[in-house]
Structure 1
Amino acid sequence: MLQKSILEKKIKRVTLFGNPVKQSLSPLIHQYFSKETGVLYQYTLCLCTEENFFLKISNFFKNGGIGANITVPFKKKIFSVPHIINKFSRISKTVNTLIKCSNNKIIGDNTDGLGLLYDLKNLFIFKKNTTVLLLGAGGAATSVIYHLLMENCLIYISNRTLMKSKILIKQFKKFGKIFIFEEYKCSQIFDIIINATSSGLYGSYPIFPLSVLHHDIFCYDISYNKNGNLTPFLKLCKNYGVKNFSDGLGMLVAQAAYSFFAWFKIMPNIQSTIMFIRSLNEKLL
């Protein structure tokens, strides 16, 4: 028992905090990272509520946790916690990665935007000056806007709450061209629609005008299904004739890799991990 206790202390611990979390593929991804890189660590899931979120985060780091990921709906809520805020989190006011320093200070960072750009470029459907319809104005959308604007994208925000859209416009307009999508005033033909809402986690899809769908558009959902099936958003797009689409599994793996690098200063192989997780999903189908 003593030997086991000593071994457990040596294993570094990382946790994903969010609600829901049971659908997450992150533990499988990090198991693969650990095997590939030789870094010994344990990656677990922690279901939180609004009431116990901060307490669980605090207890985790007090009890030896070295890093964490934050997912919906807490990416904005956690922003006030870290002692040090890195550039992407400072700009977006969202955090998806926490890193504990040797002096016990907590660094907040966000790897979502890097993950999204990696996947869009990996899919060969992304270029500078792309016209994007971004669905949602929550933490996920906020996390990726800056990176899209840095690629000179023209972004239109579509969200059910107009005030949230206006807040995002005010927050990011100094970085590039970003506007509120108004169906009857917008004549843009979009290159990409990105679903950055959490609707897929609850078996539904976001409300948006189907008139924006066309033969050459690319539909991207930052969500994914654990069994590899199409998300409700992608299923809807496919039913309306869209030929080119992808879920967010590649983004998930890429942002996880950038988080891993923040914790351990080693970059895992993103592409081989994507292929591994996709192969697991195919076996489930």
Structure 2
Amino acid sequence: MPSDPMPRFAVLGQPVAHSLSPRIHRRFGEACGIALDYRAIELAPEALPARLAAFHAEGLGGANVTLPLKELAARACRELSDAARLSGAVNTLIRREDGWLGDNTDGAGLVADLRRLGVRLAGARVLLLGAGGAARGVVPALFDAGIASLTVANRTAARAEALAHDLQSCGDIATCGFEALAGADGFDLILNATSAARSGRALALPATLPAPDAAAYDLSYGETAQPFLAWAASAGIARAADGLGMLVEQAAEAFQRWHGVRPDAAAVLAELRAERV
């Protein structure tokens, strides 16, 4: 009898050729003794619904979803997990017989990495910069982790207000435009979920934002995170990190949902960090 074909998985986005997800999942598979075929597939937003239907018909086992497709994927799924429903964004597609279950592991990945870094979340005052799919994906997990308050600032204040309205069941969310941050201070954790660096826009932030011993974290990683991390250093924030750890941790969450076992994220993260020293 012929053996079953190797399970196929993918990461979907635009652009996506740079993604580390194929490497991360292959390393997870090797560590867990699970053979899999994981590839990066570039998709234009308008092509997503039809391609998702085709992927399901072709037997794709699951997929990760990255920018700019997370909110579109939520609308294209047959069913949503609580995390995806609350956030309105999907980063993980789980195969069901009748279609795709959309999940969001970004929040769990962020919280896991922040805790690994020793960042206190219980009782923290948090400032979240940005109100797109990346921001929406982490809000429920932040409240679950016990933060005291959340302020969402966005270039367009109306989009921050829409996020607060959609996620009001998670907790009280204050909103403002970036210009209103000039008089703000005392944040224990400042998270950057904007695409400013990716699109070439400057992100001018006042140095008064952080509380003593504050932490700063960019949900992106690599060069995209450097402008925000440079601002954090100039503002005297000693604990600052990019989102490489979040990427690996959210991938471990997705891997567990597909294969029933959670891999050792720390080992893969250490390997990736060592290459960037």
TM > 0.5 between the two?
yes
CA RMSD of aligned residues (A): 2.3
Question: Partners of 1:207 and 1:137 in 2: how far apart?
Answer: 17
Contact 1:200 1:223 in 2 (8 A): no
Q: Does residue 1:174 correspond to 2:174, yes or no? A: no
Question: Partners of 2:164 and 2:152 in 1: how far apart?
Answer: 8
Contact 1:150 1:176 in 2 (8 A): no
After superposition, residues 47-58 of structure 1 pair within 5 angstroms as 47-58=42-53
Residues 25-76 of structure 1, C-alpha deviations (whole Å, 9 max, x = no match): 1111112101100111111111121232223323222222110111111111
Matched letter for residue 142 of structure 2: L
Question: Partners of 1:35 and 1:199 in 2: how far apart?
Answer: 36
Question: Partners of 2:200 and 2:245 in 1: how far apart?
Answer: 20
Question: Partners of 1:162 and 1:66 in 2: how far apart?
Answer: 39
Question: Partners of 2:172 and 2:188 in 1: how far apart?
Answer: 15
Question: Partners of 1:71 and 1:257 in 2: how far apart?
Answer: 15
State the 1:21 CA deviation.
Answer: 1.3
Q: Match of 1:199?
A: 196
Matched letter for residue 221 of structure 2: Y
Name the CA shift for 1:40/1:139 in 2 (closer, same or farther; >3 Å).
Answer: same
Pairs aligned (count): 274
Q: Match of 2:186?
A: 189
Question: Partners of 1:235 and 1:189 in 2: how far apart?
Answer: 19
Higher normalized strand content (fraction of residues):
2
Q: Does residue 1:217 correspond to 2:218, yes or no? A: no
Matched letter for residue 8 of structure 2: R
State the 1:202 CA deviation.
Answer: 4.0
Deviates more, 1:43-52 or 1:105-114: 43-52
Matched letter for residue 222 of structure 2: N
Contact 2:185 2:208 in 1 (8 A): no
Q: Match of 1:23?
A: 18
Contact 1:260 1:266 in 2 (8 A): yes
Question: Partners of 1:248 and 1:27 in 2: how far apart?
Answer: 17
State the 1:19 CA deviation.
Answer: 1.4
Matched letter for residue 22 of structure 1: A
Deviates more, 1:113-122 or 1:242-251: 242-251
Matched letter for residue 101 of structure 2: I
Name the CA shift for 1:131/1:144 in 2 (closer, same or farther; >3 Å).
Answer: same
SS in 2 for 1:279: helix
Q: Does residue 1:248 correspond to 2:243, yes or no? A: yes
Residues 69-97 of structure 1, C-alpha deviations (whole Å, 9 max, x = no match): 11111111111222221111111111111
Question: Partners of 2:205 and 2:196 in 1: how far apart?
Answer: 12
Question: Partners of 1:192 and 1:116 in 2: how far apart?
Answer: 12
Matched letter for residue 122 of structure 1: R
Matched letter for residue 150 of structure 1: D
Contact 1:158 1:208 in 2 (8 A): no
State the 1:151 CA deviation.
Answer: 2.5
Contact 2:182 2:206 in 1 (8 A): no
Q: Match of 1:105?
A: 99
Matched letter for residue 37 of structure 2: Q
Question: Partners of 2:112 and 2:181 in 1: how far apart?
Answer: 33
Deviates more, 1:209-218 or 1:173-182: 209-218
After superposition, residues 31-70 of structure 1 pair within 5 angstroms as 31-70=26-65
Q: Match of 1:114?
A: 108
Q: Does residue 1:133 correspond to 2:130, yes or no? A: no
Q: TM-score, normalised by structure 2?
A: 0.90
Structure 2's unaligned 5+ residue stretches are none
Moved over 6 A (4+): none
Matched letter for residue 149 of structure 1: F
Structure 1's unaligned 5+ residue stretches are 1-5
Question: Partners of 1:25 and 1:90 in 2: how far apart?
Answer: 26
Q: TM-score, normalised by structure 1?
A: 0.88
Name the CA shift for 1:184/1:107 in 2 (closer, same or farther; >3 Å).
Answer: closer
Question: Partners of 1:241 and 1:84 in 2: how far apart?
Answer: 44
After superposition, residues 135-150 of structure 1 pair within 5 angstroms as 135-150=129-144
SS in 2 for 1:16: strand
